[in-house]
Structure formats: structure tokens, C-alpha cells
Amino acid sequence: MLQRTVLYDSHLAAGARMVEFGGWEMPVQYSGLIEEHQAVRGGAGLFDISHMGRVMVRGPQATAFLQYVTTCDVTAIPLGHSSYGLLCQPDGGVVDDIFIYHVPDEYLVVVNAANRARDWAWLEQHARNFDVELEDRSERWAMVALQGPAAEALIAGAEDSEAVEIGYLPFHGVALTRLFGHTVLIARTGYTGEDGFELFFDTEHAPALWQRLLALGGPGSVKPCGLGARDSLRFEACLALYGHELSEAINPYEARLGWVVKLDKGDFVGREALAAIKAHGPARRLAGFELLGKGVARSDYPVHTVDGTPVGHVTSGMPSPTLGKPLGMALVPTALSAEGSEFDVIIRDRPVRARVVKMPFYKPRYKK
């Protein structure tokens, strides 16, 4: 039985095509992937991301607990800011990638939709040794993302809003505000490579707030967007997708996320294994590539050396809507991950030559 967000009926009314994703029935597109993708790159798009998990962590040892279960330095997250982080296994494999928001008297941890139950169990298991309280707020709060270069002006111009000072909210900043007469937690975070905001608010107000957000700036200024555009946008910015660039079998150094691992902060789950991986260097590494021949590289397609030896696999691949050419990311031996290296992607039993290019494919335009 697929789960549905509180905005399911709103998606149907807008003509969305619904698909299964991580156990959820979610909109993959409304008007079309390309149109929605371009709307976010050039203006503003609105995503329902209520399928993601939201966990509150509070108590005397909340900071110490998160410091122990995540790779990032939680003590370095000031009040009103947030940070990307990883939950790792003792062997260094990734349980999930998360965002931690430092709000008054507690932390909000956002986890991936498909991993909600597993992450909750993981956090509960490790919380037993700390004086902390965990609260699953996933059903109580809805979560949406307004993304694109026009997002700031649209939010600032909203009627019945106290968010007029939104321009002063820094990248990764988070604050409580009033929007359309409702209390909203707003964060300058997102998953598209563009400036934008993620908003959290009570589920009961979600359908009305969704419609008000779509109406910002007048008809057509904000376009509803589905999972298709969300994937193509994050792909161009080379942002990791769990189950593709990250998994229990892929460690942070292989995924080029060593910057999220703060080995000098003290003990945490996976530290010993990750320190050893860093010291020796990962045997394989994520590489961005462009295809030199015809075809489209898709997730899990095999990667061979140019002489035909199997050495890796594609993690994500598609024709880039912004750059107009087929691109991909693959896990390959570290020696093959250097820019300019070449290998073959096996597409329908046929080798297609690929060349490693600089990542990200699209330079993010976050507000700094």
C-alpha cells in the first residue's frame, strides 16, 4: 500500500502524473520535465517534499548525541543555521545523508523518504546512551520547496507575511516566520543547485499554503514541479541521491563527500573506518562523464575499461536539459576518475566511449 502526502489531492487536481517512489505515490511531472526544469533554472518551481522524514532531537545531550551519530561537526552549527551530514555505519558505509537544522532548544533532522523507518530505528538505537528525546514530526508537519532565482522576491512580496526580511536569511539559514497568516519554519536550503527555500508548516494548512505559494507573483510565476525535474536539477549540480551515489556499500570518500567527514571532532560512528579509508585513499571514486558516442547512460549500466574489463557502474545518467548533452556519474577505480580519463559505458550491450569531465556539470547559484 503506497503512502500519500497531505498534498496528494492537490497534485491530482493539477493534473500531475503519479508514480511510486520510495514507498510513496508522488507526482513525477505536471506540464513536463523539461518545462519544469527550466522554470526552476529561470524563475521558480514548487515541490512537495512531505514524503521526507522530519525528526526533532532535544534534551541535555542533544548536541552530543548528534555529534556521535553524524559525520559533520554539530557543535559548529550556530543557532539559526543548518548543515549537511551523513549517518554512517561502523564500516564507513552510508546509512543516509541528512540535513540538521539548529532551531531554538532543539534540532530538526531531515532524512530521505525511503529511509524514514530505518533512520528512525538507527537514531533510537544510538539514543539509548544519551539523555535525549526524539520526536517524529513527519506526519505533523508538511514540507515544500520553493526553488529558483525568483524565489526570494516572490516570498518577500507575499501578502499577509512577515517574511519581507527574507533577503537577510543566509545560505543554510533557518528561521521561524509568518507566511499567509501561518507560522512557518523557513530554511534557505534545497536540492536543485539554485537559490531557494524549504518550508515546514502544520499539515492541516498544507493544501491552502500550497495554493497560495503557487499563486505568488501571478499566474504562471511559480510552476508546480515533480520528481522528474527534482532529479534532473540535482543531477546537473552533481548532488548525491541515496541509493545511487550513496549507499551502505559506498563510503563518503568514494562519493566525493570527504568534506562532510570531520575526523578531528572526536569519536563518532564510523570514524575509525573512515580515518583508515582517508589515510589509504579510496580504491574507487565517483566521476562525472560525458558520452562521446550516441546513447544515454542510465543508473546501473556497467562501466568497462577501453580494453573491455568491467570496472564499475553508472550511478546516475541522463541528457542534461540545461547543457543539452548526455552526462552521467559513475563509480570507477580512482585512477580512472581523473578529468580527461576515458572508459566505456555499456548501453544495450554496446560499448559507448565516455570521457571524465569536471563536476559539478552545472555550477550552483546559491546565495552566499
Above 70 in pLDDT, residue 81?
A: yes
User: For residue 158, what pLDDT band results from cuts at 50, 70 and 90?
Assistant: confident
Nearest Cα neighbor of 315 from 261, 239, 260, 258 is 239
H or E segment and range at residue 142: strand 141-147
Contacts of 19 by beta carbon, 8 Å cutoff, 6+ apart: 25, 26, 27, 28, 227
Please tell me whether residue 289 adopts helix, strand or coil conformation: strand
Contacts of 34 by beta carbon, 8 Å cutoff, 6+ apart: 321
| Residues 44 and 51 sit within 8 Å (Cβ to Cβ) | no
**Judging by DSSP bridges, how do beta strands 223-225 and 45-48 pair with one another?**
parallel
| Residues 33 and 229 sit within 8 Å (Cβ to Cβ) | yes
User: For residue 163, what pLDDT band results from cuts at 50, 70 and 90?
Assistant: low
From the CB of residue 294, how many other CB atoms can be counted at a distance below 10 Å?
Answer: 9
Above 80 in pLDDT, residue 161?
A: no
C-alpha cell at 318: 541522463
| Residues 42 and 147 sit within 8 Å (Cβ to Cβ) | no
- Give the span between the Cα atoms of 96 and 249, in whole angstroms: 11
**Mean pLDDT on 255-265:** 98
Over the stretch 268-280, which tens digit does the pLDDT of each residue have? 999 999 999 999 9
- Give the span between the Cα atoms of 39 and 22, in whole angstroms: 25
Over the stretch 166-176, which tens digit does the pLDDT of each residue have? 889 999 999 99
Contacts of 133 by beta carbon, 8 Å cutoff, 6+ apart: 57, 58, 59
**Mean pLDDT on 232-237:** 98
pTM: predicted TM-score of the whole model, two decimal places: 0.96
**Mean pLDDT on 102-107:** 97
pLDDT score at 165:
79
| Domain regions of the chain by residue span | 8-52+139-236, 53-132
User: For residue 131, what pLDDT band results from cuts at 50, 70 and 90?
Assistant: very high
Residue with the three cell numbers 516566520: 177
Q: Is the dihedral of CA 79, 87, 190, 285 positive or negative?
A: positive
- Specify the fold of 53-132: Alpha-Beta Plaits (3.30.70)
Above 90 in pLDDT, residue 160?
A: no
- Give the span between the Cα atoms of 189 and 85, in whole angstroms: 13
From the CB of residue 261, how many other CB atoms can be counted at a distance below 10 Å?
Answer: 26
Nearest Cα neighbor of 336 from 281, 285, 280 is 285
Mean pLDDT of the chain: 97
Over the stretch 174-205, which tens digit does the pLDDT of each residue have? 999 999 999 999 999 999 999 999 999 999 99
pLDDT score at 191:
98
Residue with the three cell numbers 533510537: 124
- Give the span between the Cα atoms of 56 and 71, in whole angstroms: 18
**Mean pLDDT on 14-27:** 96
**Mean pLDDT on 22-31:** 96
Above 60 in pLDDT, residue 96?
A: yes
Q: Which residue has the higher pLDDT, 5 or 22?
A: 5
- Give the span between the Cα atoms of 212 and 234, in whole angstroms: 25
pLDDT score at 182:
92
Whats the size of the chain, residue-wise?
A: 368
Over the stretch 281-326, which tens digit does the pLDDT of each residue have? 999 999 999 999 999 999 999 999 999 999 999 999 999 999 999 9
From the CB of residue 273, how many other CB atoms can be counted at a distance below 10 Å?
Answer: 16
Above 60 in pLDDT, residue 164?
A: no
Q: What CATH number has the domain spanning 8-52+139-236? A: 3.30.1360.120
**Mean pLDDT on 68-75:** 98
